[in-house]
Amino acid sequence: MKYIISTLLFTLVFLDCYSQDLVPFRVDTLWGYKDKQGAVKIEPQFQYATKFLSNVAIVAKNGKLGSIDKNNTLIIPFRYEFLTPLDTAEYLFGHRAKYFGEYIVGVMTKDEKVKIPAEYSNISRYRNTYLVTKNKDNIIGKNGIGDVRSVSRTYGLCDSNGKIIIPCKYQYISWTTDTLLVVDSSFSADNGKYISTNSALFSSQGRQLTGFDYMVFGKFIEGVAKARIGNKFGFIYPTGKIAIPIEFDYCEDFDNSYALIKQQDKWGAINKDGKIILEPKFDYQEVKTTLKEKYGR
């Protein structure tokens, strides 16, 4: 029951922001529902109960989770150890993992059609996709409570139908625009320790646009993003093609069609074609002043 209560407390907080007609109440160890006037609408019979999200609440019986509507009609049978709604049409579902408070989860529809199998440590929905993660435990010792472990996490992405479009094997995935993602991959030495993290640009459909050659991708500003390979910087298009060669010691983002670049501790400026309009021979404040005087930046 500790596992059930932990899960349901999380769900209760998640649903608390919704205004509901029915609210849960407890008599001894059982939960039911009253309306806002205090009239009992569903007699106490559950081990625990969340507030309603639209017409659905998560409830527990016999140590398992299911869902009901406001008429106490069973929508999802009591057979899950983890159950929480993503919205009124889809649920995260799953079972307990090895360690307390952790679960292995998937995604299913309200009629229990599985979209994503229960094999992930966490799933979140964003921009019509599902970001999925898996935890890998490394036992490094024991104490009086149990295992002492380190946890590494891998990331992947599924489309709106639950199809894997980026395998769950990368160190991190983040959105950089509405249609582009940065995917980080760790490379390790023979002893298994991480020695570097390189990144690639992917489309939201899972198409890889660049190799894992990059250390940094910046924000896309004026149609290009600052990018770093090794110790050199340049610019890249959203297509993954290089816009301006990766050859500067440093560069700043474009602003009004010009960008500051740094070579051997001196600053200059380039235009959107990559042409040097101010040779890198200035101090930082000098190049900004000169750029403003000559080009009105």
Looking at the fold, whether 208 and 236 belong to one and the same domain comes out as: no
Segment 201-251, tens digit of pLDDT: 999 999 999 999 999 899 999 999 999 999 999 999 999 999 999 999 999
Q: How confident is the model at residue 18 (pLDDT cuts 50, 70, 90)?
A: very low
Is 97 among the domain residues?
A: no
CA distance 114 to 234: 44
Last residue of a domain, one of 186, 213, 240: 213
Q: Is residue 230 a part of any domain in this protein?
A: yes
Q: Which residue has the tokens 């039911």?
A: 32
pLDDT of residue 190 exceeding 70: no
Residue 262 has pLDDT above 90, yes or no: yes
Q: Among 77-86, 97-106, 155-164, whose mean pLDDT is lowest?
A: 97-106
In a domain? residue 94: no
Within this chain, do residues 69 and 120 fall inside the same structural domain, yes or no? no
Answer whether 268's CB lies under 8 Å from 260's CB.
yes
Could you tell me if 43 and 61 lie in one domain? yes
Domain finish residue from 213, 230, 251: 213
Neighbouring-strand partners of residue 233:
228, 248
Number of structural domains in the chain? 3
The C-alpha atoms of residue 202 and residue 217 are separated, in whole angstroms, by 12
User: Has residue 53 got a pLDDT over 50?
Assistant: yes
Chain-centroid distance, C-alpha 22: 32
**pLDDT band, residue 139 (cuts 50/70/90):** confident
Give me Rg for the CA atoms of the chain: 26
Residue 264 lies in a domain: yes
In a domain, 159, yes or no: yes
Asked which of 50, 85, 120 is the last residue of a domain, the reply is 85
Evaluate whether residue 118 is within a structural domain.
yes
Q: Give per-residue pLDDT as tens, 272-293.
A: 999 999 999 999 999 999 988 8
pLDDT number for residue 269: 96
Output the average pLDDT for the chain. 89
Residue 96 maps to a domain: no
Residue range 137-150: mean pLDDT, rounded:
75
Q: Is 43 exposed, middle or buried (0-12, 13-18, 19+ CB in 10 A)?
A: exposed
The residue with greater pLDDT, 132 or 11, is 132
What 3-state DSSP class applies to 290? helix
Residue 297 to residue 290: CA distance in whole angstroms: 9
Residue 225: CB atoms within 10 Å: 23
Q: Is the pLDDT of residue 124 over 60?
A: yes
Could you tell me if 208 and 108 lie in one domain?
yes
Query: Residue 112 belongs to what domain range?
Result: 102-213
Q: Is the pLDDT of residue 158 over 90?
A: yes
DSSP category for residue 178: S
Q: Is the pLDDT of residue 6 over 90?
A: no
Neighbours of 174 (CB within 10 A): 12
In this predicted structure, the answer to whether residue 16 has a pLDDT above a threshold of 50 is: no
pLDDT at 281: 95
Q: pLDDT (tens digit, 9 = 90+) per residue, 30-46?
A: 999 999 999 999 999 99
For residue 248, the domain's CATH number is 2.40.10.480
| CA–CA distance, 191 with 173 (Å, rounded to integer) | 25
